[in-house]
Amino acid sequence: MIHKHELADLRENYGLHVLLEQDMDKDPFKQFQKWMEQAIREKIFEPNAMTLATVGAQGQPSTRIVLLKNFSSKGFVFFTNYESKKGLQMADNDRVALSFWWREQERQVRIEGIVSKVSAEESQTYFHLRPKGSQISASVSPQSKIVSRETLEKAFLEKAEAFENEEKIPYPTFWGGYIVRPSLFEFWQGRPNRLHDRLQYTKQGDLWEMVRLGP
């Protein structure tokens, strides 16, 4: 059994990098790209893994890890089942948040914004770029619904057999992409003695304003 003092004593004293205003890009999308490129170069495990926070009609927040599949100055794109819990919550409330945690670099990025679906054409194109096994899983999974492992595996095998000689699985219209259009970025860098660096960007018209926040 874990004693409470064992958890309380778990801590790291960060100190790999410094985050100074003059070193940051004025465009938070470009700054994010710099950090993402560095994370990829340094072979961080799944650097595109991000926490997605949604809030449903009842006001209950919910979080899970999803994978970033594309980003540009327009926003951050991921894919999922539209009928999943997160899909239903985003249909009720289009305000969401994302967070990235790159432990090896002692860095975190938070993003807040508005989510919407990407086009059906973009969703279908990406769906057929996925490995065939992933296509099958997406098409047979009743995501977020109660189901047995046996039922899932049976559905997968039946679908795989039915399309054994086909290059593509028919695109399921209940699955597709979302884009998060940010209104806020926060870049966090771990520093010694918990005196961390936090630089926040907020949208002011067509420009971004950067301020430093207390740790």
Give catalytic status of residue 194 as yes or no. Answer: yes
Active-site option among 64, 95, 107, 194: 194
Contact 127, 119 (CB under 8 A): no
E strands, the chain, in order = 49-55, 61-67, 70-72, 75-81, 95-102, 107-117, 175-189, 197-204, 207-212
Give CA angle at 78 (141, 184), nearest 5°: 140
Question: In terms of Cα–Cα distance, which of 169, 184, 183 is closest to 134?
Answer: 169
Name the residue type at position 144.
S
- Residue 144 is given by DSSP the state T
Task: Please tell me whether residue 64 adopts helix, strand or coil conformation.
Answer: strand
Catalytically annotated residues = 194
